[in-house]
């Protein structure tokens, strides 16, 4: 048995060596060194705070903050590789070159051996800029509609102003800070979360990667209160629409009704929106006058006109010059009021009073002396004598009575008057 074991010993040893050699060849062929690409590995910018402390900021140019790695290793190793096996950094403090490039360093932190790593980019391109902070007003954009019959009332963002810090060029691009809030089907008062958007002058959203502001990574809440609506008429006070010596012969405006919004208690008793006299023709123009009036200015506090297109209406007025017509009042046609007891006016020597009434021709056409009254108040006359007193003239609606008209009245005792008779 022992003899057989050692028979052809050399040949057996050579066979073992050949088998091992063949196994090594097979293993190396099957697990040969190969390469694998790992794309878009994020470059971590290091020591950025060094620039921040100097009032500067580093902004990475688009597309240069990732790198593609080509890894050379045995296939068995390559199959287990992950992007997290590599730490890719660019140190602003140590490796900033020419003020615009930062060298990329790749470190392998995996637990298997690799041959080497190649990268498609050697540097991150950066812009070093002054850091600035500006305040922006928050605009709220509502999306959707509340429950039928309701409209949005007060809209209150949790902050009306937002401070934004970042590179000057990026901050200066910001024209609008807007939060979009969904309100479909809401009633009463609700708090809705939204997302802040930074928009440029063309309405395009700005990448806020290098900007710091409240609401960047969190919801931005907006409180929205709904209001009830009601259709009401529109009434203008035309008493001051025409300047002195002129009258308003016609007025038209569209629309004649408007939808207002408020609480139920506020809008329930309202049927007309009354516009005060100072709203019409403040410049005192004459002829055909067309004027745009912002009627929302005359709403009671707490009421709104929800449709922006209805807040202004166009008023057309025809303002024509007054005509004048005179009427003669004999002393007996004048009304003497509050005559002191025991006295009476002496009409024997009184003259005729001329009353000039002005107005539009069509209004004057049907006026007679009987529709006009002239009166004198004698309540301040205590004793007999001659008094010059103001005359109060009452005319039909739409006409203008004369101002500053006076009448001289002789007041005598009643007994004296009887004796003269």
- The CA distance from 19 to 107, in Å, is 39
pLDDT, position 10: 63
Dihedral sign computed on CA atoms, order 188, 194, 197, 203:
negative
Q: In the predicted model, is pLDDT for residue 27 greater than 50?
A: no
pLDDT, position 64: 81
**Confidence bin at 25 (pLDDT 50/70/90):** low
Q: Are 348 and 419 in contact (CB under 8 A)?
A: no
- Give me the phi and psi of 397, to 5 degrees please: -60, 140
Q: In the predicted model, is pLDDT for residue 164 greater than 90?
A: yes
Q: Which distant-in-sequence residues (6+ apart) come within 8 Å of 198 by Cβ?
A: 164, 174, 176, 177, 205, 206, 208, 211
* Domain at 130-226, CATH from 3.40.50.720, 2.170.120.40, 2.40.240.10, 2.60.40.10: 2.170.120.40
Span 295-311, average pLDDT: 92
Q: Which long-range contacts (CB under 8 A, 24 or more apart) does 111-118 make?
A: 112/73, 112/77, 112/80, 113/73, 113/77, 114/71, 114/72, 114/73, 114/77, 114/81, 115/33, 115/72, 115/73, 116/71, 116/72, 117/69, 117/70, 117/71, 117/72, 117/86, 118/69, 118/70, 118/72
Tell me which of 41-45, 53-57, 72-76, 108-112 is least confident.
53-57
* Domain at 33-121, CATH from 3.30.110, 1.10.3210, 2.170.120, 3.30.1490: 2.170.120
Task: Output the DSSP codes for 313-348.
Answer: EEEEEEEEEPEEEEEEE-GGGSEEESPPTTEEEE-S
**Confidence bin at 22 (pLDDT 50/70/90):** low
CATH number for the segment(s) 324-420: 2.170.120.30
Task: Quote the tokens at residue 204.
Answer: 């395009």
Span 248-263, average pLDDT: 92
pTM (two decimals): 0.53
């Amino acid at each position: 048995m022992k003899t057989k074991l050692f028979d052809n010993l050399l040949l057996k040893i050579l066979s073992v060596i050949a088998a091992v050699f063949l196994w090594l060849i097979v293993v190396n062929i099957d697990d040969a060194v190969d390469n694998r690409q790992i794309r878009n590995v994020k470059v971590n910018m290091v020591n950025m705070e060094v620039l921040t402390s100097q009032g500067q900021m580093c902004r990475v140019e688009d597309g240069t903050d990732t790198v593609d790695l080509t890894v050379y290793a045995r296939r068995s190793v390559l199959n287990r590789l992950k992007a997290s096996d590599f730490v890719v950094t660019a140190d602003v403090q140590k490796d900033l070159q020419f003020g615009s490039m930062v060298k990329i360093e790749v470190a392998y932190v995996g637990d298997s051996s690799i041959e080497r790593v190649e990268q498609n980019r050697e540097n991150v391109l950066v812009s070093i800029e002054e850091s600035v902070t500006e305040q922006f007003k928050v605009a709220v954009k509502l999306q959707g509609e509340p429950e039928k019959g309701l409209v949005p009332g007060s809209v209150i963002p949790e902050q009306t102003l937002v401070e934004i810090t970042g590179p000057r060029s990026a901050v200066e691009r910001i024209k609008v800070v807007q939060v979009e809030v969904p309100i479909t089907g809401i009633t009463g008062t609700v708090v809705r979360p939204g997302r802040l958007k930074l928009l440029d002058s063309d309405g395009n959203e700005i990448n806020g990667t290098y900007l710091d502001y409240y609401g960047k990574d969190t919801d931005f809440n907006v409180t929205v209160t709904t209001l009830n609506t009601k259709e009401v008429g529109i009434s203008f006070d035309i008493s001051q629409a025409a300047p002195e010596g002129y009258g308003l012969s016609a007025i038209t405006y569209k629309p004649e009704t408007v939808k207002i919004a408020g609480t139920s208690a506020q809008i329930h008793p309202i049927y007309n929106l009354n516009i005060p006299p100072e709203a019409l023709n403040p410049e005192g123009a004459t002829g055909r006058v067309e004027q745009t009036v912002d009627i929302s200015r005359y709403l009671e506090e707490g009421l709104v006109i929800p449709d922006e297109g209805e807040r202004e209406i166009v008023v057309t007025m025809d303002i024509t010059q007054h005509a004048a017509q005179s009427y003669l009042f004999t002393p007996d046609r004048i009304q003497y009021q509050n005559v002191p007891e025991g006295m009476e006016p002496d009409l024997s020597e009184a003259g005729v009073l001329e009353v000039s009434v002005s107005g539009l021709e069509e209004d004057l056409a049907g006026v007679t002396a009987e529709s006009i009254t002239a009166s004198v108040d004698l309540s301040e006359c205590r004793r007999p004598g001659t008094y010059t007193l103001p005359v109060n003239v009452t005319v039909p609606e739409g006409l203008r009575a004369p101002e500053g008209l006076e009448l001289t009245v002789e007041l005598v005792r009643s007994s004296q008057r009887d004796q003269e008779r």
